[in-house]
Structure 1
């Protein structure tokens, strides 16, 4: 399911570009997805819920990590501002 999902692929591509030492903001993924679909400048807002859902699914699958305040967060129990990134070796 996630391998052919365009939002999940956008998130993974941005995380790969950032590398394992950095994370991305979910709004970056939503904006990149909207740009790729040639939507207007504010269309990204409508994709934020989908980005969050895909980030949670990817975290559950072990493909990325959700961070809150710089620390890994439980994908099933986090609130507020978050970032996503590749799993770190440390």
Structure 2
């Protein structure tokens, strides 16, 4: 799905879940954990980059709201910042895809 995103725009895991399961919230919400696990595996393999607040995040430390983007050909592997207090869960971490558009 990330490959189909216009101009490499990151996508939310809920968009992936909805594409698989349709609009039934009970069904697509059950897919969120497996999608997160697969996104983390793909990030470790260098195929995608996981973003939190627009910055690359270590796949082993992803918490709350995150997005997935394809890693561009020739793009170096991301260097992850040390965790900050802002990496704790807050209300913004529970927005669904499209809710965070400014």
Query: What's 1:41 paired with?
Result: 24
Instruction: Count how many residue pairs are aligned between Structure 1 and Structure 2.
Output: 73
Q: 2: CA distance between counterparts of 1:66 and 1:19?
A: 17
Task: Classify the secondary structure of the residue corresponding to 1:23.
Answer: coil
Partner of 2:5: 18
Q: Could you list the runs of 4 or more consecutive aligned residues of structure 1 that deviate by over 6 angstroms after TM superposition? A: none
Q: Which runs of 5+ in 2 are unaligned?
A: 77-102
- Show structure 1 runs of 5+ residues with no match: 1-13
**What secondary structure, in the 3-state scheme, does the structure 2 residue paired with 1:62 have?**
coil
State how far apart, in whole Å, the 1-side matches of 2:62 and 2:30 are: 21
Residue 11 of structure 1 is matched in structure 2 by: none
In the aligned structure 2, how far is the partner of 1:54 from the partner of 1:27? Answer: 13
Q: Is the 8 A contact 2:2 2:8 kept in 1?
A: no
Q: Which residue in 2 is equivalent to 1:85?
A: 69
Equivalent residues of 1:66, 1:75 under 8 A apart: yes
Across the aligned residues of Structure 1 and Structure 2, the Cα RMSD in angstroms comes to 1.8
Report the CA distance shift for 1:20/1:87 in structure 2 as closer, same or farther (over 3 A): farther
Contact 1:19 1:86 in 2 (8 A): no
More helix by proportion, 1 or 2? 1
Higher relative contact order (CA 8 A, sep 6+): 1
